[in-house]
Structure formats: C-alpha cells, structure tokens
C-alpha cells in the first residue's frame, strides 16, 4: 500500500504551481499534459488513485492530491510554498516531498520538504520560498508539480 501511494504521488502533477528550493534553479523539465501513474510505472496500477484538484484562493494556487495539499503564492523574491500532509496511517510517519514551481515558459524552481514523525491523525506542515530574485520575476500564476511524495511509516 505504501509503495502504491508513493508511485501515485511520484507521478508529476501539473497544477499551475510547483515548489522548489529558494536558491536552486532546475532546467525546465518536459512534463506531460495529463500525467498518470502508468506513465511513471507501467507495471503498477494503483487502485483507487486520488484525483488532483487545483483551484485559486485569491493569488494563491492550491493543489490537493489525496493526503497532500500544496499552496503557492507569488512574492517579489519567489513563490511562497506551503505543504500539508495528513497522516492517515495508524503509526507515526515521515514524508519526503519534492515540489517544483514553474511558469510554463522556462522559470522553474524546486524544494524538498522533510516532515518527520507526524503522529497518526495529525497533519505535518512546512513552508519555504521557492526561487529567487536572481531567476527573474516569479510566476504570477504558478504551476505546481509534485515530483516526489514518499511516506515512510514506523514499523513499531
């Protein structure tokens, strides 16, 4: 089950906003218009898979995908990116999440978030400004990509 969740989340989600490291720039990756779990791992067919939902809350773009929520808000020096992961497991869990933010025209930045020891039934949160002023103007309508979502559940 954990492997299936990881594979579902590892597929790239184009949602108009991605999260990246504040000082890290990545080359603009070629992303499929409608990613699927089959594209990232043809031998595994998760069932049922979460459906990505993207909407705006003012200037903030919001991506909801299963237990993961990503918010991206443009700022002058980059894109403030906030993540939340709800631990629906019955044990503590640690999450490795890599988010990319792009504008669809070449501006792309990313960040890896590490949420440690999230108790069962609780939500882990973190935030960072992705990108920098050196990269040029931050996207005003950011695209969010989930590059990796790996839950690690305690075995105790």
Q: With bands split at pLDDT 50, 70 and 90, how would you rate the model's confidence at 156?
A: low
User: Is the model's pLDDT at 120 over the cut of 70?
Assistant: yes
Closest CA to 96 of 29, 35, 1, 5: 5
Q: What is the pLDDT of residue 154?
A: 79
Q: Among residues 113, 99, 135, 98, which one has the least CA distance to residue 15?
A: 99
Question: Higher confidence at residue 44 or residue 109?
Answer: 109
What is the average pLDDT across 126-145?
Answer: 95
pLDDT above 70 for 25:
no
Give the three-class secondary structure for 135: helix
C-alpha dihedral (74, 77, 78, 79), degrees to nearest 10? -40
> Which DSSP letter does residue 49 get?
P
Spatial contact of 107 and 131, defined as CB atoms under 8 Å apart: yes
Structure-model confidence comparison of residues 26 and 77, the more confident one? 77
What pLDDT does residue 133 have? 87
pTM above 0.85, yes or no: no
3-state DSSP helix/strand/coil % of the chain, to nearest 5: 10, 45, 45
pLDDT in tens, 49-83: 788 899 999 999 999 999 999 999 999 989 999 99
pLDDT of 108 = 96
């Amino acid at each position: 089950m954990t492997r299936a969740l990881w594979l579902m989340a590892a597929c790239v989600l184009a949602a108009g906003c991605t999260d990246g490291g504040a000082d890290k720039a990545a080359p603009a990756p070629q992303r499929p218009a409608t990613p699927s779990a089959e594209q990232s791992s043809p031998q595994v067919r998760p069932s049922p898979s979460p459906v990505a939902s993207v909407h705006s809350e003012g200037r903030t773009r919001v991506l909801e995908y299963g237990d993961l929520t990503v918010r991206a808000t443009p700022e002058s020096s980059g894109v403030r990116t906030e993540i939340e992961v709800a631990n629906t497991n019955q044990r503590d869990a640690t999450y490795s999440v890599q988010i990319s933010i792009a504008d669809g025209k070449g501006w792309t930045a990313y960040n890896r978030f590490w949420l440690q020891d999230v108790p069962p039934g609780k939500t882990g949160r973190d935030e960072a400004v992705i990108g920098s002023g050196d990269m040029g103007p931050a996207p005003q309508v950011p695209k969010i990509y989930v590059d990796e979502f790996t839950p690690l559940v305690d075995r105790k």
